[in-house]
Amino acid sequence: MLAALLLVVVQSLEYGRTPRLEAEQENQIRAAERMLKGMMSIRDSRLALGIGVDLAIDPNGTGLIGEEYTDLTTSQGSLRAKRTSLNPQFAGLALSLMRRAGVQKGDKVALCLSGSFPALNIAVLAACEELDVNPFIISSVGASSFGANIPGLTWLDMERLLFEQGHISHRSSFVSLGGIVETEGGIDGTGIEQGMQAVRKHGAIYLDEGHRGKLLADIERREALYLAGGRPAVFVNVGGAITSLGWVAQAARLENGLLRKVPACQSPQRGIIFRMMEQGVPVIHFLNIESLATRNLLPLAPVPLPPIENMDRKAELERRTWLQVVTLGLWLLIAAWLSSINPGANEL
């Protein structure tokens, strides 16, 4: 009798969630496919502009790896992290994280996108398309090394191309140059003019940020923009924008992925991430990409890019681990019951 009950329970755990799990994986696969198509469009556009792809730094030939340094470069960046971010499965991860944050169809979501990780920007936007939500986007032009730091092919240029070709249906409402002068992460000289050209072509409202002593005002203005019209269902940050992190020591201790908590911080210069959590808004933080990939069973700097399949392997692994624990517990209960009716029994 107990053995039959065990079989029923195990089958329920094994198959009961399958339709929902399969539907979620289908959504993730569609998001990944959308991301891959968008990446291919950007690569084709890059080649059409006469900007070559250096296979020594971009062995997958995606066209989304920039140069080590240009006048649009704000800070040093990891080439390995940039290569890792090219995996279209990050779109599936972004969708999964938003689901776990409670995002539903039609929700307002707040996005902070930077030029440092253009592939992750596409991943997040692809997930928004598949979830059918309403993103409110603030982007910056500047990028860390190997990001979208090529004049004429900034993140704003890429976003405009993706929108015009129908890969995404929303664009940034506000843009800034990126970089903060007082933290030595600014762009200047020729880079400012190159960035402003991208802003003018894009057409979004320009946020004049980065001046010495204005960080607090920049953070508060962005917070007000994100909260206008009601709290968003989630705040997603891609990259290391100072307005998102703030100029506080606690920023270095932030986790990545879906944040459950943030370090306590009362400084006025704490960033949007801290402030959104204080407002009860879930935060998804895409930074320290290699550790994020490892925790979610995604390969580091893969060559070639992995196939679009098994989009939520971590969730599946956790589900099967839970199944194994429950099964073991039920077997132990049966063993204890058999021992109680037959003290001499020592095996099933």
Query: CA-CA distance, 17 to 14, in Å (whole number)?
Result: 7
Check pLDDT > 80 for residue 329.
no
Residue 322 lies in a domain: no
Greater confidence, 223 or 180? Answer: 223
Q: How confident is the model at residue 211 (pLDDT cuts 50, 70, 90)?
A: confident
77 pLDDT higher than 90: yes
Residue 319: band (very low, low, confident or very high) from pLDDT cuts 50, 70, 90: very low
Look at residue 142 and tell me if it is in a domain. Answer: yes
Tokens 């409202």 identify what position? 205
pLDDT of residue 247: 94
Q: Quick check: is 348 in a domain?
A: no
d(CA 201, CA 3): 69
**For residue 252, pLDDT beyond 80:** yes
The number of distinct structural domains making up the chain is: 1
Q: Is residue 344 part of a domain?
A: no
What was the pLDDT predicted at 39? 98
Q: What angle do CA 143, 147, 150 make, to 5 degrees?
A: 80
Tens digits of residue pLDDT in 167-181 = 999 999 999 998 765
Residue 88: is the preceding peptide bond cis (ω within 30°)? Answer: no
Mean pLDDT, the chain, whole residue set: 88
Contact 142, 107 (CB under 8 A): no
Domain that holds residue 234: 30-295
The answer to whether position 325 is within a domain reads no
Q: What is the pLDDT of residue 143?
A: 96
Alpha-carbon gap, residue 205 to 182, rounded angstroms: 23
Is position 305 within any domain?
no
Q: Angle between the 18-48 and 118-131 helix axes, to the nearest 10 degrees?
A: 130
Residue 177 in any domain: the answer is: yes
Over residues 264-285, the mean pLDDT reads: 97
Per the domain annotation, does 64 fall within a domain? Answer: yes
| Structure-model confidence comparison of residues 185 and 297, the more confident one | 297
